[in-house]
Amino acid sequence: MLFNVSGLLRSPVGTVRHYTLEPERPVHAGSVELIRTPDGVLVRCEADVLMDGDCARCLAPFGYREHISFEEIFVQQVDVLTGHRLPPPEDDGAFLISLNHEIDITEAVRQYSETAAAMQPLCRPDCPGICPECGQDLSMATCTCDRAPVDYRWAALAGLRQAANG
């Protein structure tokens, strides 16, 4: 995910370039806008990324898709016209344009993908998970354990029914 911006750095502030992202892990599809700013290039990225996770219920590893969207300034280290080094950016965590005028968005994509990763991904929305009593994967087979209902609204309803019947 490398873009050569030596041409863009020679263009006036505000010049925009559009690119389509090629599929390259973790990116499935996406687009990038590069905009010339006074001290570098603003990168605007929209992408679908493929994530790997373990199901929060049954613990099975599986892949899923997330959307990421970010804007980051990549700061110029070299004046493209004179070849002179520029003073380093004040923020030492800033993304940098390489000395040969390339922007690599791989690290930014990785960071934003990590942030977008689901806290509790599910392999499917109705994954029944694992029986807390015997450890049986309930999507493969049922078990005979007497499991307490997890949803208290249903528990209350069951209690009401019992009261009505009794």
Residues at the interface with Zn ion (CB under 5 A): 55, 57-58, 123, 127, 131, 133-134, 136, 143, 145
Q: How far is the CB of 52 from Zn ion (least distance, A)?
A: 14
Q: Which two tokens stand for residue 80?
A: 């493209």
How far is residue 93's CA from residue 101's CA, in Å, rounded to a whole number?
A: 18
Least distance (Å) between residue 155 CB and Zn ion: 19
Distances in Å between the alpha carbon of 116 and those of 70, 71, 86? 11, 15, 34
| Closer CB to Zn ion, 40 or 129, in the complex | 129
Q: Which is nearer to Zn ion, 116 or 131 (CB)?
A: 131
Which token pair is 36?
């010339």
Q: Which is nearer to Zn ion, 82 or 120 (CB)?
A: 120
- CB closer to Zn ion, 12 vs 135: 135
44 burial type by CB count under 10 A (0-12 exposed, 13-18 middle, 19+ buried): middle
For the bound state, the minimum distance from the C-beta of residue 113 to Zn ion, rounded and expressed in Å, comes to: 21
Determine the distance from the C-alpha atom of residue 128 to the mean position of all C-alpha atoms in its chain, rounded to a whole number: 26
Min. distance of Cβ 42 from Zn ion in angstroms? 40
Q: How far is the CB of 83 from Zn ion (least distance, A)?
A: 56
Quick one: 73 or 143, whose CB is closer to Zn ion?
143
Distance CA 132, CA 80 (A): 62
User: Could you give the residue ranges of the DSSP H alpha helices within the chain?
Assistant: 6-9, 106-116, 152-165
